[in-house]
Amino acid sequence: MLVVTGTGTGVGKTAVTAAIAALARSGGRRVAVLKPAQTGVAADEPGDLAEVVRLAGEVTTRELRRYPDPLSPEAAARRSGQPVLSPAEIAAAATELDQTHDLVLIEGAGGLLVRYGPDGSTLADVAWALGSVLLLVAEPGLGTLNATALTAEVATARGLHVSGLVIGSWPAEPDLAMLSNVADLPVAAGAPLLGALAEGVTGLDRATFLARARAGLSPWFGGDFDSECFEKSASART
């Protein structure tokens, strides 16, 4: 199992989740993606899991709650009057999927400490309950080092292991801060850089997305991304 979290909202978690799923599926692995709480999407609208299937192909998906308001799961549940999620419920769903799949990806909502319920439960509690490692998705620009370091420090303090970091959206023309951050992000995360997905990959067709996923993710996921070459290239442009 792998828990995918981010430094915040809109950093590319769904794209990274889909890319990992696409590579695993292309390698013949049985993949499941669990989205415990989908917020900000109406019942009849496609959510993050629909995007994963569109990009990665036929993978098993499971969504436990859907709340229409674009808020944290706790706040959205409160406004909608629907039940909140507990770490135990999420862990049980992930464990069930794990019994029949080779890889289970759990995509959180927002960042690591976004609350699921009034008891203060978060994705960190889910990862701890499962004994799962974390993959941290970060944005490349100004301000990301602080958010990345805070997330990694909290994870470590809670007994979790951050296995690596992926830049969720790398632009064709990165600015100075982005180029400089390539070397500094792994230091802030205390974990290796395991990929950088090109900006706009979610707008591609499935075959092209798979090719970009392979280019943008580490061999750890079945890709060809070379962090050392990527860092040297970024450094040469500063």
Catalytic pick from 6, 16, 18, 35? 35
* pLDDT of res. 91: 95
pLDDT in tens, the chain (238 residues): 999 999 988 999 999 999 999 999 999 999 999 999 999 998 889 999 999 999 999 999 999 999 999 999 999 999 999 999 999 999 999 999 999 999 999 999 989 999 999 999 999 999 999 999 999 999 999 999 999 999 999 999 999 999 999 999 999 999 999 999 999 999 999 999 999 999 999 999 999 999 999 999 999 999 999 999 999 999 998 8
One-letter identity of residue 29 = R
**Is 13 a catalytic site residue?**
no
Phi–psi pair at 31, nearest 5 degrees: -120, 140
- For the record, the structure tokens of 104 come out as 């289970």
CATH number, domain at 120? 3.40.50.300
The per-residue pLDDT for 31 is 98
Domains: count for the chain: 1
Q: Which two tokens stand for residue 137?
A: 């998705």
Tokens of 201: 């990959």
CB within 8 Å of 38: residues ≥ 6 apart: 47, 48, 49, 63, 65, 66, 67, 109
What sign results for the dihedral spanned by CA atoms 34, 8, 207, 195?
A: negative
Domain that residue 12 falls in: 2-236
pLDDT score at 125:
95
Rg (CA), the chain: 17
How many whole angstroms separate alpha carbon 14 and alpha carbon 10? 9
- Put residue 190 in one of left, alpha, beta given phi > 0 → left and psi -120 to 50 → alpha: left
Angle at 158 between CA 157 and CA 161, to 5 degrees: 90
Distance in angstroms (rounded) separating the CA atoms of residues 97 and 91: 10
167 with 11: CB under 8 angstroms? no
CA distance 220 to 73: 31
Q: Is the dihedral of CA 197, 184, 218, 134 positive or negative?
A: negative
